[in-house]
Each structure stands twice: as structure tokens, then as C-alpha cells.
Amino acid sequence: MDQFLAEDYLNADTLSLVTDYLLSAVAFVGILVIGRYIAKWLRNKIRDGLDSPGVDRTLTKFAGNFVYYAVFLLTIFAALQTVGIQIASFVAVLAAAGFAVGLALQGTLANFAAGIMLLIFRPFSIGDYVEIAGEAGFVKDLQLFFTCLRTRQNRLIVIPNGDVFGSTIENIFAHDEIRVDCDVGTDYPADIDQTREVLLEAARSVDDRLKDKGEQAALVGLGDSSINWQVRIWATPDNYFRLRQALTRQVKYHLDEAGIGIPFPQRDVHLDELNGEPDA
């Protein structure tokens, strides 16, 4: 009879142990799911709360992402406690392995630090058209570790923040006014003064340009096959790409109407006859 009592006790103890593990596992998963939901909810609330004309969109997105990862990390710590892992010992293990992890993740940590520096110095904002590390596009998002660009072909380019902060950043739409240039070469026989007037008239025919900024037709050089000009007008960032195409179109039309050619590269080759008999 004692044997049956011992077996019943062991079965009850095993059942209790299994039940405790199942409850801990359910609590672990439940805390992670709920914590992630709360983190996303807080991120959206922060973005909605800061999404106003007086607040930079770059700061809004960065702050939302930072809160999301911070809350989710705290959720992971809370979930670990439910399965019996003490946070103090866990932190001690992390501290002991911190040096190795730091070496392994030095690129990631550098990207995070670069993201903070980009947020502080603000070389660009969300929606700006920039050229970074040889890539050009509109800034779509500034994450903790990388920056997202959307090209004019609607392609997504993801650049690590370390590369962004360590390279030359050209913010093309940083100001309210931007110059639109059109480079063109004309025939050498064409009169320079007449060509200048034709190019200026082409610039004046472009609608929606900033008329108060004027227009210029600059003689920039004498090339191998052409006289090189640069026609300039000014525009707002919203009209930049459209007016650049319109200016190029008007320059071509006006030069054709004036009978001034746009030469292609050419080279003259002179053959000199050899005098005398060739050596035997």
C-alpha cells in the first residue's frame, strides 16, 4: 500500500511540475505578445501625437522606433522572469559577455550611434531629396540602425547609418529655391551674342520658373567640337524635375528655330604624304 501511495505522490508531483511549466510557457508567450502589441501601440501614439506641422517628421519616426524597441526589450526581461530566469543573473551574464558582443556588434552599435548623431545634427529631414554614398532618392525613414531612401523609380534603398554619417551628404532640396541647369554645346560658326539671346529666350519661355531670380546663359568653355553653354533658371523644389525637362526641351526647340546646331563630338585626321623612296 505504501508503494501505491508513493506512486500516486510521484504522479501528482509530476503533473504539478508539468502544469507549472505549461503555465510558465503560456505566460511567457502571452507577455511577449501583449508587450509587442503595447510597444506598437505606443509607437503609433507617439507618431500620431508628434505628427504636426511644427514637429520634424524625422524626429517623430525616430522617437517612435526608439520607444518601440525599448518597451519590447523590457517585455523580454519581464517574460524571462516568468520562466524562472532571474534578471540580475541574466544581466550579469550579459555584462560578462558584453565585450565579446560589443566586438561582434561594433558595426551595429556604430550604426546606432550614427543614427543618434544624424538626429542631433539634422543634415536632412523626411521627404528631402538627397544624395548619400552614391545613392540618390527621397528620405523615406530614419531608423535606429539604417536610413531608407525611395528613388524616383520607386525603388527602396537601405543604407546603414554609419555609412550615411561617414559620407558626404548632399541635400538637394534643403532650401526653398533651387537652380535648374541645362548644359548644351553649339556650333563654332554660330555667333556668340546671337546664341546667348536665343538661349535666354528659351529660358524665359519656361513657365512656373521663379522670375524674380532671373535667367542666365553662361559661356562656360570652348570645347573640342562645340562652344559650351549653361542655361540657368530657378525653381521651387516641387517643380525642379519638371522644369529641368521643360528647360532642356525649350533650349532644343529655340536652337533649332534659330538654325544653330548642336554638334556631336568629331575629330579631324590629317594624313601627311611621305616624301622620298622607301628604304630598300
Residue 82 belongs to a domain with what CATH number? Answer: 1.10.287.1260
**Comparing C-alpha atoms, which of 258, 248, 261, 254 is closest to residue 187?**
261
- What the block records as the C-alpha cell of 132 is 548619400
Domain containing 165 equals 124-171
Its sign, for the CA torsion 87, 92, 95, 97, is negative
Q: Of all residues in the chain, what percent carry a pLDDT higher than 70?
A: 75
> 182 and 162, same structural domain?
no
Per the CB < 8 A criterion, the answer to whether 178 and 172 are in contact is yes
Beta-bridge partners for 216: 232
> 211 and 193, same structural domain?
yes
21 belongs to a structural domain: yes
| Residue-level pLDDT at 225 | 87
pLDDT at 202 over 90: yes
Contacts of 274 (CB under 8 A, 6+ apart): none
Domain count, the chain: 3
119 belongs to a structural domain: no
Per the CB < 8 A criterion, the answer to whether 60 and 46 are in contact is yes
138 belongs to a structural domain: yes
42 belongs to a structural domain: yes
> 166 and 89, same structural domain?
no
Q: What is the mean pLDDT of the chain?
A: 81
In this prediction the pTM is 0.60
